[in-house]
Structure 1
Amino acid sequence: MRTVIKWTVAAAVAALLASCSTAPRRVAVAPPPPVSLELPYQWSQGAAPQAHKDAVALFGPLTLKPGEYKWAAEVPKDGETKVVIDRLQQLFYVYRGDKLVGVATASTGKKGRETPLGFWQVRLKKVKGYSRKYDNAPMPFMQMYDAKGIAFHAGPNPGYPASHGCVRLPLKFAERLYGLTQVGTKVVIEG
């Protein structure tokens, strides 16, 4: 009986609305506010060019050869660690608080397996990581940032995109970086 009443009421409301000269309006809903990453600058895009400027200011002209890196003499003890990866320049930057503390050459994903762009967070860390997809390949100082297994880790660094999507780093840089980050560390990938 109640079902019949519900259908009758629904039909009556539909008939009433159909006979109205004005159709019901859609209510505009504002989009949600952008997610704040609380990076050193108000970056929505442009993190990599700013990181490059910061690196030149700290270390001088960047003439890094594949597999090289620079690390600040003093690293702030406090502050959140953030990472910026520049696929175009094949460079990896790390901040502590609002201070750049390191820059390294990187090898991102090759054509057809490009490292994904965007805003990420470290999801999993392992000193001795291994690839689930590629024959258990070693991934020292692995820091995974997506659900598919893409990570940054120590590995061959030829100076151009050569990985299956991960970001390879010089071994000693990856080791130092591992000591600064934690699960939740923010990662920006541009280029």
Structure 2
Amino acid sequence: MIITDPDLLQVEQRLAEQRFDPGPVDGVRTRETTVALWGLQKLNGLRPTGRLTKATLRALERPREVRPLVKKGARNRVEVDLERQLMVVYTDGRPALISHVSTGANRTYCVRGRCGDAVTPVGAFRVYHRVGGWQNGWLGAMYKPIYFNNGIALHGSTKVPRRPASHGCVRVPLHTADRLFRLVKMDFPVYVDRSSTSG
């Protein structure tokens, strides 16, 4: 028997209203709920713990306004904030999806005799290729990758820690990748920057 928590149900409803993806809005605490709370906490300048602290509950009731990384960006776009490890997808100029992400670890890596730098480059890009399912590559499996810069993609992953940890791609929680794939089409602009340096 699953016991639902009416307070948690309200939390999930507020997260969904604010364009985070808590998974099913059913009052059951899941990994998806925690990851959505990380996104809310990051957006509001809080430490991403996933705990329902007083500050987190205040942020749910009175959230910070989403400030664009790119002031004159396209009305439909993806913004990836390397500083906060946060992604915002805009449709018609408004946030449609906000998610915690994990970007390049900013270190050298070597896998199967091939080495490279785990960096997510800053810049303005466009989606040039999408794969509607799992794709296996030499660096591992990616779910619904959306490529925007030479082999670097937004993609679903089972490992999306609270810190930069990828080989350069932008990892999103697995459950969020389906929604992301529905929103982000070919030729969609993708902006990557740091909130402390953009403007």
TM-score higher than 0.5: yes
Q: Does the residue aligned with 1:145 lie in a helix, a strand or coil? A: strand
Gapped regions of structure 1 (runs ≥ 5)? 1-54, 68-78
Q: TM-score under structure 1 normalisation?
A: 0.57
Q: Does the residue aligned with 2:40 lie in a helix, a strand or coil? A: coil
Change (3 A) 1:127 1:66: farther
RMSD: 2.8
Q: Is the radius of gyration larger for structure 1 or structure 2?
A: 1
Aligned-partner Cα distance in 1 for 2:145–2:134: 5
> Could you list the per-position Cα deviations for residues 61-106 of structure 1 after superposition, in whole angstroms to 9, with x for gaps in the alignment?
9326589xxxxxxxxxxx9631000011000100001111111000
Gapped regions of structure 2 (runs ≥ 5)? 1-14, 21-38, 43-47, 51-73, 108-117, 195-199
Q: Percent identity of the aligned residues?
A: 30
Displaced runs of 4 or more, over 3 A: 58-61, 64-67
Kept after mapping to 1: 8 A contact 2:85/2:101: yes
Aligned-partner Cα distance in 2 for 1:66–1:94: 23
Q: Which residue of 2 aligns with 1:152?
A: 154
The residue type paired with residue 63 of structure 1 is Q
Aligned mate of 2:119, from 114, 135, 148: 114
Aligned-partner Cα distance in 1 for 2:137–2:100: 25
> Could you list the per-position Cα deviations for residues 106-139 of structure 1 after superposition, in whole angstroms to 9, with x for gaps in the alignment?
00000221101100011100022425332xx211
Aligned mate of 1:100, from 79, 82, 95: 95
Alignment of 1:112-191 (within 5 A): 112=107, 113-134=118-139, 137-147=140-150, 149-155=151-157, 156-191=159-194
